[in-house]
Amino acid sequence: MSSKHFHLCFNPIETFEMGRIKINVILLIILKLFLVGTTTGEETCENDREMDKLCGGHTYKSVKPLLDYFKQVRNELDQSEIKEKHISEINADLMIKYHEIVAIHEKLMKEAFQLDEYKNQIIRKENDLQLCQSKVDKLESEINSQQTTINKLTLHANFLASYDECKKELSDKSNNLEICEVQLKKLNSSVIEKDEKISEYSATIQNITENQKTISLKLEEKQTVLFKKDKDIEICHEEIVKLNRTLHNNNIPSSCLPFGEHPSVHEIEVCSSFDVLCDSQLAGLDWIVIQQRINGKENFTRDWATYRKGFGSLDGDFFLGLEKMSELTSLQQYELYIHLVAKNGSIFYARYDDFKISDEDHGYALSLGKFKGNIKDAMRNHENMKFTTFDRDNDPSYDNCAVWYNGGWWYKSCSHCNLNGLYGQYLYWYAEKANTLKEAKMLIRPKEDKNK
């Protein structure tokens, strides 16, 4: 620091001692300001005013650069202390890491020393093992030598005993040989019997093959006969169509058409003649009633032959017969009308535009056509099903549905409607309004005559 700065506060008018006292006071004030001025910037102005009072404005302005220099030095010292503290912390961490590395190194050295000891122990054990093996080999050689001597000494003594044993063994083998010869004879006999059975089986197989050929020939003959029968049926149907066209020249019609508004029982002829119940009240003219349930007096638990032929009374409950239905519907297209009366008296109907029953060889399978009616189409579930009775199960169900429901029908698994079931709970048509029925009728008529 230059000496001229100390003379800035000197007043030549004052005495020398007074000047020295003032210089000391000014230096103390500067030191105080230096220490205080490094704390906060808010106290600077107050210190400046104090300096102005002590030294005067001119003197303080001269000293202010020195104060600024002291502040800068103070800040640098503070930063230096922070850095030294940080360096000390880093050095402390480094020393910790160094001590850890030294400890790890010492541990590795100890483990390496132990490993060397283990290797030396293994080498010593191997040497000991080799020595033991040499001793074992030597002992085995001595034992073999002694065993040879013993064998020579006992050979003569055992010769007689061995001779007796060989003699006994030979006797046993002779006995075993005899037993084997007996068993061989039995096996030969068994083989001969099996050969004879094989021959019998071969003859049986040959007979079965010949029978199969015979059955095949008979089947072909039956198929030929069936084909001829189908042809005859077609010819019969053609003749029936021709007869229907010339109905005015015939005495017996093939439908209820000629009877018009005179319903009742009439005779018709298809391939044969039979009586039918004609109805012109339920759904118009010319309907043939093929099934009727009105009083529950007829038993519908019947066998296949009875359903084929038909049964019941035309003025009560009856079933026309599957064969007659098949003959009628094979002539031309027929429509089916089903009349239902629920237990509460509500009346419903279901109508199908292409009703057909196949022949007996195809199980009298059911075909319906399009539906129209004021009730759910419950009959649709039975379409394409063969007819089932208690003695002929044609339904796909696990059990015979005809046995369960006491009536013949085109059952599936088992039924959504059952118009031939036991009168009461098994006479039904599944729908919201007509589950159980008290009356049911099935009527058919030729499709082309429906508007006449």
The per-residue pLDDT for 1 is 47
Please state which of the four CATH numbers 3.10.129.10, 3.90.215.10, 2.60.40.10, 3.40.190.170 is assigned to the domain occupying 250-449.
Answer: 3.90.215.10
Give the SS3 label for residue 112.
Answer: helix
Q: Between 85 and 70, where is the model more confident?
A: 85
Task: Read off the pLDDT of residues 39-82 as tens digits, 9 standing for 90 and up.
Answer: 444 445 555 566 555 555 555 567 678 778 878 888 888 888 89
| Closest by CA position to 281, among listed 289, 293, 271 | 289
Lowest mean pLDDT among 272-286, 306-320, 353-367: 272-286
Lowest mean pLDDT among 6-20, 219-233, 360-374: 6-20
The per-residue pLDDT for 200 is 78
Task: Read off the pLDDT of residues 132-157 as tens digits, 9 standing for 90 and up.
Answer: 888 888 888 888 887 887 777 777 66
- Distance between CA atoms of 344 and 440, rounded to whole angstroms? 14
Q: Has this prediction a pTM greater than 0.75? A: no
User: What letter represents residue 17's amino acid?
Assistant: E
Q: Which of 63-67, 94-98, 220-224, 236-240 has maximum average pLDDT?
A: 94-98
Q: Is 74 exposed, middle or buried (0-12, 13-18, 19+ CB in 10 A)?
A: middle
- Distance between CA atoms of 442 and 342, rounded to whole angstroms? 15
The per-residue pLDDT for 293 is 96
Task: List b or e across 86-117, with b for residues whose CB sees 16 or more CB atoms inside 10 angstroms.
Answer: eeeeeeeeeeeeeeeeeeeeeeeeeeeeeeee
Neighbours of 402 (CB within 10 A): 30
The per-residue pLDDT for 77 is 86
Domain boundaries, the chain: 250-449
For the chain, report the end-to-end CA distance as a whole number of angstroms: 145
The per-residue pLDDT for 217 is 82
Ramachandran bin of 2, using left for φ above 0, alpha for ψ from -120 to 50, beta for the remaining angles: beta
Pair 277, 270: CB distance under 8 Å:
no
Which residues of 259-301 form beta strands (DSSP E)?
264-269, 273-279, 287-293
Mean pLDDT value of segment 261-279: 85
The per-residue pLDDT for 243 is 59
Task: Read off the pLDDT of residues 159-202 as tens digits, 9 standing for 90 and up.
Answer: 667 667 777 877 887 788 778 778 877 777 777 877 777 877 77
- Distance between CA atoms of 140 and 367, rounded to whole angstroms? 101
The per-residue pLDDT for 9 is 42
